[in-house]
Amino acid sequence: MKIERPTLLMGALIASSVALASNTVDKTNPNILFILVDDLGLGDLSCQYAKDLSTPNIDRIFETGVRLDNFYANSSVSSPSRAALLTGRFPAMVGVPGVIRPSVDQNWGYFAPSAVTMPDLLKSGGYSTALIGKWHLGWESPNLPNERGFDHFHGFLADMMDDYYTHRRQGGNYMFLNNKEIDPKGHATDLFTSWSVDYIKREAKAKNPFFLYLAYNAPHSPLQPPVEWVNKVQARDKSLPVKRARLIALIEHLDYNIGKVMQALKESGQLDNTLVIFASDNGGDRGSMANNGPIRGAKGDMFEGGIRVPCALNMPGVFEGGRRDNHFIVMMDLLPTICELVNIPIKHEIDGISVLDAVKGKTQDTEGRFVYWLRNEGGAQFGGKSQSAVRYNEYKLLQNLPFEKAQMFNLKEDSLETASLPLKGDMFRKLNSAMTRHYRAWGAIPCQAPSK
């Protein structure tokens, strides 16, 4: 089956070193474009494991940059991963062990107002900072994006839109331009792209570098791509289940829009001096027929499919060449890595480590540390309790649901997590004790807003 690729391709864009504007290229002070997508499975790119879709623009980021083949989100769901990305902390340590929701009885986090964020740090180094797209870390003061380090916010405050066109969540409108409620028309993916293109073009005239956190809500459900994109996918392969066809169309529409953002970087003369990072916040949703590649589990699981996600870094002259890296890297590691790259010191406690040596192709021990995943949730499966996992080197101890038995795996010998090891011995005790310490530390952190 031949998949026709969209007309907007990045091949010539990244391959070209000719700037169309007169901007001076300064590799020590680059712009930063962080593209975070929502619920994209490890396998759902044509450069990964998917054979039924085409993502040439995202592929180009991976194929000409550094692909992180052993990259993990900090949670199996959205809000905690975003908290970890923006703070370099384990999410429970900044008050976000679960999904932040406007509905009080369904809310499982409160983003600690004292937490220092990536835009806070980058602003201290002279960066202009912007968030376009999905925030999902609070819908009221003091946890609005403009209060957490972003000079410019144009996007959606709450969790998931119920409709990509009306942009509502349970009847409420959470679409804002800075502190002003807005009601724009159009598909959310198209809107976030258009606003990002406008921002990139404006910033081309500025003296300061920019940090743009572009957080799409695609391909999260509802599976609501523009109808012409669904028609194109179904015409190409009539054997696809309708749900899978709609997910593919949503991903391909997303890819097309990312191509537009990359085009804006080139046309404004900023491509050669922009670090582009692409990642997903957690694994793909099995209910949407996502492809999580050759691993067990999906979004919401502590198995690999819920937390291992696609990621790549791309910057001409720095992260290029199509190299594939297999260091164990976690979302929270990106903050200290970026800060080291742009020479911004971190003077407060974080949990992530800079992996700049690793992503530059040097040898670095990134596995000899305890890494924790913890998620609280309600409903019959959770009852307010936690699912959790802890990893040290190749060993991982997890409890996928709070009423299930714990399991332990050696990921190098059993990457599919098929046969649990006996829950005994030195390694089990080591992992179990570490997880206990993390729970004790987390217990001191408020995860609900203070009473008014």
Residue-level pLDDT at 224: 98
Residue-level pLDDT at 163: 97
Cα radius of gyration rounded to whole Å, the chain: 21
Place of tokens 């494991």: 49
Give the bridge partners for 311, in sequence order: 279
CA dihedral angle for residue 440, residue 136, residue 214, residue 164, rounded to 10 degrees: 150
> Does 3.30.1120 match the CATH number of domain 371-442?
yes
State the span(s) of the chain assigned CATH 3.40.720.10: 28-359
Q: Indicate left, alpha or beta for 425 from its phi (over 0: left) and psi (-120 to 50: alpha).
A: left
Rounded Cα gap, residues 332 and 431, in angstroms: 20
Place of tokens 């201290």: 124
- pLDDT over 70, % of the chain: 94
- pLDDT over 90, % of the chain: 91
Answer yes or no: is pLDDT of 439 > 90: yes
Long-range contacts of 150-157 (CB under 8 A, 24+ apart): 150/119, 150/213, 151/119, 151/123, 152/128, 152/178, 152/199, 153/177, 153/178, 154/130, 154/178, 154/195, 154/199, 155/131, 155/192, 155/195, 155/215, 156/188, 156/217
**pLDDT tens, position by position, 224-264:** 999 999 999 999 999 999 999 999 999 999 999 999 999 99
**pLDDT tens, position by position, 334-379:** 999 999 999 999 999 999 999 999 999 999 999 999 999 999 999 9
Report the candidate in 65, 67, 97, 66 with the shortest Cα–Cα distance to residue 82.
97
- On the question of a cis peptide bond just before residue 222, with omega within 30 degrees of 0, the verdict is yes
Mean pLDDT of 108-121: 97
Rounded Cα gap, residues 416 and 426, in angstroms: 23
Residue-level pLDDT at 452: 73
Mean pLDDT of 177-185: 97
CA-angle at 219, arms to 217 and 220, nearest 5°: 65
Residue-level pLDDT at 85: 98
Residue-level pLDDT at 310: 98
Count, residues in the chain:
452
The CATH number that domain 28-359 falls under is 3.40.720.10
Answer yes or no: is pLDDT of 78 > 50: yes
Q: What is the DSSP letter of 94?
A: G
- Of the listed ranges 15-29, 281-295, 342-356, 400-414, the one predicted with least confidence: 15-29
**pLDDT tens, position by position, 57-72:** 999 999 999 999 999 9
Mean pLDDT of 280-304: 98
Residue-level pLDDT at 451: 82
CA distances to 190, 348, 371, 395, 423 from 256, in Å: 10, 39, 35, 39, 47
Amino acid at 250: L
Inter-residue contact 397 to 407 (CB < 8 Å): yes
**pLDDT tens, position by position, 1-19:** 434 444 344 343 433 333 3
Mean pLDDT of 291-319: 97
* Cβ count near 105 (within 10 Å): 6
**SS3 for 371?**
strand
Report the candidate in 31, 132, 75 with the shortest Cα–Cα distance to residue 331.
75
State the span(s) of the chain assigned CATH 3.30.1120: 371-442
Answer yes or no: is pLDDT of 20 > 60: no
**pLDDT tens, position by position, 124-171:** 999 999 999 999 999 999 999 999 999 999 999 998 999 999 999 999
* Cβ count near 88 (within 10 Å): 31
Residue-level pLDDT at 28: 65
Task: Look up the pTM and report it.
Answer: 0.94
Q: What is the DSSP letter of 318?
A: T
**pLDDT tens, position by position, 262-287:** 999 999 999 999 999 999 999 999 99
